[in-house]
Structure 1
């Protein structure tokens, strides 16, 4: 039977519909009496550099499932909130908030290494707000990639032992057929190696000849497989710190989140780099979700940390939306200004939208060529 491929948007819709369905199925008369709401609004966490198109896809999928996305929460911020509210969970909420405010002027680095990506963010706490100063990321070099590395290593072990017995074409057919199972066992070995020095990789009856794949994977073997990824991660940390305009010594806290941070070699590398500033994060794979729940309950909203500006022909910048403006998904932000072109002969205006602070540009967000009034294609004759 031919497999049906689903788009990312379709998969998102299925997931969000399932979550909404779980909420509706759990409704009881007691819940109604206690005023517990059904799931009709959600706040979603997003990784760094999650662009507008991706956010629109998430919002569209949620809307089609009958759910309104009220806000997007940046995962590094959620991780910090989740860590502090978990670390001091026996204290009152207002006391925990005061502890976070006491970080005023300090720099934190969040190192979120999950299954698909590594997201690194340098954050500064300033006047009760968290400001994103520098970011870096590694895509497709994370937990899932580590599973693939182990699976490939295991398959090569099998080829070393039985490769001469079968044709390459047959072995490749077998590999594709067994690949999902190889990945599942590889993931289990990876998890065990976070607690033990070795793990047995066993896959029975790999071929028609009933040959088994059976060997012991050591933690040293695994660390050798991911050594390049660890080096790349370290380089990305340096990139984020440089972008933030600070030095390693300026960081007060380093938070490790995401499932891949349970790997001993990852933690060892971070301690080697930052020493005692590496904070132990309980439930590292849940910190972001826990922090998002706190942010939603407290009603905290994201805001612009930089001005959104239009670059003018003389090199100056005109602010459209200013730093500090709250950002909420349920409201449309709009502003209008009238500009004149310095040269109307081309009948098109080049508009450069960027972000920065004051009269300084950090990066371009969009470059658009807009037809001017007077273009015959638009049925007007304002310009002769």
Structure 2
């Protein structure tokens, strides 16, 4: 069972022991961030620092010439990843005998939303989500495809994992977040994630909808939610609030946008990559879900990409729709948080992997080798040794 650990360049650069320590876990591969969102990260073993603050979304290598003259372009990293931090880390990890694949975060960029607010998702109330670029906008899509190519196909990388290649919405780990006062449920999250920017208004019109009337319908549908009435779970809850016909039309537009972006980005990466380069998407098998694990249609995405990385810390259930619609040779990577302080279960990793394999997993991902404690990593090493 092939396993890979997620790593940031700042976990490796400046720590001569890091690459060997990661290899000693028993993994064969690392998934190394090359383009990442803002974060504050612990580095519990680094000889020079304990906290790294990445203040904005950035690429972790020198920005390429392809962006000259373009308004939307990647931001270079600050002192948390200067120069070619990705390349330096990749060389050290490869020197320890590890395969290096890139980890690329796409439609999640608060700085771009702040500097270019018209790029952001706009909800039915007119509120902008600066962390969420609208993937229906032509300029934003061109930026995301260009970023996918440049950040994925780095020197020495044998593949890539593309995160947030789809819709981002309301749910977001934002600074001092205070949005949990009302339980929105899946239905409320969906309605609060619908975008009403000019591009999406045009798209809704193509579905035969009047965007003003639709926005008004969404606001009316959410009134009982704001009063504390539970809307019900799943797509049935959306239909209950918005009505089946309207709900289906909104989903048809959003699904078509996400699918076409996934097709375009994967094709562009494949055309730029060497033969044998693997392209995986971080994915959720429910197409109307938003976030880092983009909502996808399992059959479609497995016909486009080489496989998916699926969140399994809460159980392996999300693997089943992919396994049921899988194509021979598709990678189904079960992603487990192994940081106990973040809800991970490193002590149960062996049992969790076994359950994932029963559901069709072909590989394992471990989040995250740089964030985990020594005790967590010891438990991971023991589990991987038992798995062989």
Q: TM-score, normalised by structure 2?
A: 0.32
Q: Which structure has greater strand proportion?
A: 1
Q: TM-score, normalised by structure 1?
A: 0.32
Structure with higher Rg: it is 1
